[in-house]
Amino acid sequence: MKLTLNIIAAALLMTLGQCTSKQQTTESAMPQSEESAEKETPKDDPNAVRSLVIDPAYTPVETDPLTIQSVSMDGDTLVLLVQYGGGCRDHEFVLVSNQ
């Protein structure tokens, strides 16, 4: 099994439908496998497969709360559905650990 887990976030970026309402969000469908994700998603695509980042010097920072709505495994890929109400601009989520 690979040492690194590839991450597909089913809603890596939750785009708010309107700035005035945090209840309206959109979800992006994700590719089902790492191979198809590498072929179909450009490097700047927020829904692209990303690897877990392990940085021994990483220190968690305070941020607005987010909700992990669901977690599942697809082979050796961790799939997360994330909800975040941190404003109207685009957000990028990266899974980082210091261990």
Is position 85 within any domain? yes
**Which structural domain range is residue 36 located in?**
6-97
DSSP string, 21-71: EEEEE------SSHHHHHHHS-TT-TTS-EEPEE-TT--------EEEEEE
Is position 1 within any domain? no
Cα–Cα distance for residue pair 48/55, rounded to 1 Å:
21
Is position 38 within any domain? yes
Is position 90 within any domain? yes
Structure confidence by residue, pLDDT tens digits, 45-70? 656 667 788 888 888 888 778 889 99
Is position 56 within any domain? yes
Looking at the 3D structure of the chain, how many domains does it have?
1
Number of Cβ atoms within 10 Å of the Cβ of 96: 11
Structure confidence by residue, pLDDT tens digits, 66-98? 889 999 988 888 888 888 887 788 777 788 888
Is position 64 within any domain? yes
